Amino acid sequence: MKKLLGIIILVVLVILVLKGFSKNNTSSTPLPRNELQQDAAYQGDLELEDGDYTVATEKSSLVWSGKTPLRSHTGTVDVKDGNLLIVNGTLTGSVVFDMNSITSDSSAVDNDLKSKNFFEVETYPTAFLDIEGYTGGNIEGYLTIKGVTQPVSLPVSIIAHNDTVTLSGKVSIDRTLWGVEYRSGSVFSGLGDKAIDDDINLDVTIIATH
């Protein structure tokens, strides 16, 4: 009995010592971020300084991609001009894209894209994104292509650093809404492998400085 009691007392003493050691050596390193902490609620409010931000065209970019049942193509469109205006935390503005600059991974495709089949760049040399607000992680506004204006809601993240604002996001648009119907399977029947997807995927980065 005395031996058992001694063992119990020894175990209790060891536990107390270990607790004391742990308390005195608690690391100040924060726990790793988990998925929940990636939520915007954990990242604080995004505060943008009021003012007029000029789009840095040489740093901004638009990368597009499209596909047929047999292949896919990708390319770029230059950002020509633009500005963002922030008043009382509300974002508005306009971005101009140079449709004459549209390129792809094939010269034959380039010619097609610039022709009446697609964007008819001689008649419509620019496209416009007019921003009317930023709500719930989406830019709300209007996109004009080939003289046709359609409302859009584009998921975009905004990063503000010093005097620079960066808007970036990926979105898919239905080209037929802007009258670009060439070889569209939803417009013309019997195209088979020659059909071109209606959706154009856009990867946009807009950088503007104050």
Which of 132, 168, 167 has its CA nearest to residue 151? 132
Which of 119, 155, 120 has its CA nearest to residue 40? 155
Report the pLDDT value the prediction gives residue 47, as an integer from 0 to 100.
62
Residues in contact with 161: Cβ distance below 8 Å, sequence separation at least 6, in sequence order: none
Report the pLDDT value the prediction gives residue 153, as an integer from 0 to 100.
92
**C-beta neighbour count of 51 within 10 angstroms:** 12
Report the pLDDT value the prediction gives residue 6, as an integer from 0 to 100.
52
Report the pLDDT value the prediction gives residue 24, as an integer from 0 to 100.
44
CA distance readout (Å), 104 to 59, 112, 119 = 19, 10, 14
Task: Give per-10-residue mean pLDDT for the chain (210 aa).
Answer: 51 48 40 37 52 96 95 96 90 96 93 96 98 90 96 91 90 96 93 94 96
The fold of 48-209 is Lipocalin (2.40.128)
> What is the distance between the alpha carbons of residues 194 and 123, in angstroms, rounded to a whole number?
26
- Numbers of helices and strands, H then E, in the chain: 2, 10
Find the radius of gyration of the CA atoms of the chain.
28
Report the pLDDT value the prediction gives residue 140, as an integer from 0 to 100.
93
The residue ranges of every structural domain in the chain are 48-209
